[in-house]
Structures are given as C-alpha cells and as structure tokens.
C-alpha cells in the first residue's frame, strides 16, 4: 500500500471544477477546501493498474492547480523484509 497527502493551491472560483476533475483521477480524494487560503487537501492511494506517482503527477498537471505540495507519504513496501532491531 502507498498513500500520499497533497496540499494544493488554486483560485477558489475554480474549486468546484477542480474537485470534480481531481475525483476522476484514480486513487485521488479531495478532503477539504479553504476558500480563504485557496488550499485543497487531497489524498492519493495506489490501486490495481495505477500508481501513486502517476496520480500525483496527474494532480499536479491538472488545470487550475497552481501549486502542489507533497505533505505526507507512506508505504508499507518492504516492511516484511526489514529485519527488526535486536535489543540487548
């Protein structure tokens, strides 16, 4: 599983159109919008047939997105392969 959170900047008058467009990108969900600051918070999750990196790129290239900032990223890949530290 991979998940990322992005903070986007956009003009508030474009929020409705932008939210709809973002919702069409695989794994993307809009969680909050603030018209006062022009910010949107979205999450991106991977899934069958698409990756978080592809969806993040699609978000950043979406019309009306002025800035996309990666705020958080998590992956559980390799956790089973990582040896636990031994305690003395």
pLDDT tens, position by position, 39-81: 999 999 999 999 999 999 999 999 999 999 999 999 988 766 6
Q: Give the model's pLDDT for residue 85.
A: 67
17 assigned to some structural domain: yes
Please state, rounded to an integer, the average pLDDT across all residues of the chain: 92
Is 82 contained in some domain?
Answer: no
- Domain hosting 15: range is 2-75
Asked whether the beta carbons of 69 and 4 are under 8 A apart, the reply is no
pLDDT of amino acid 77:
81
The CATH number covering residue 29 comes to 3.30.70.920
E-strand ranges in 1-88 read: 2-9, 28-34, 39-45, 67-75
Strand partners, 39: 9, 34
Asked if residue 80 is part of any domain, the answer here is no
**Is there a domain that residue 25 lies in?**
yes
Query: In sequence order, which residues have a C-beta less than 8 Å from that of residue 12 and are 6 or more positions away?
Result: 33, 35, 38
pTM of the model: 0.84
Structural domains in the chain (count): 1
pLDDT in tens, 16-26: 999 999 999 99
């Amino acid at each position: 599983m991979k998940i990322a959170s992005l903070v986007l900047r956009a003009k508030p008058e474009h929020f409705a159109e932008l939210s709809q467009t973002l919702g069409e990108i695989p794994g993307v969900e809009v969680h909050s919008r603030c018209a006062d600051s022009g910010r949107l918070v979205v999450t991106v999750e991977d899934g069958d047939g698409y990756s978080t990196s592809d969806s993040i790129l699609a978000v950043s290239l979406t019309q009306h997105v002025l800035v996309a900032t990666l705020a958080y990223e998590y992956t559980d890949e390799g956790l089973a392969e990582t040896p636990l530290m031994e305690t003395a």
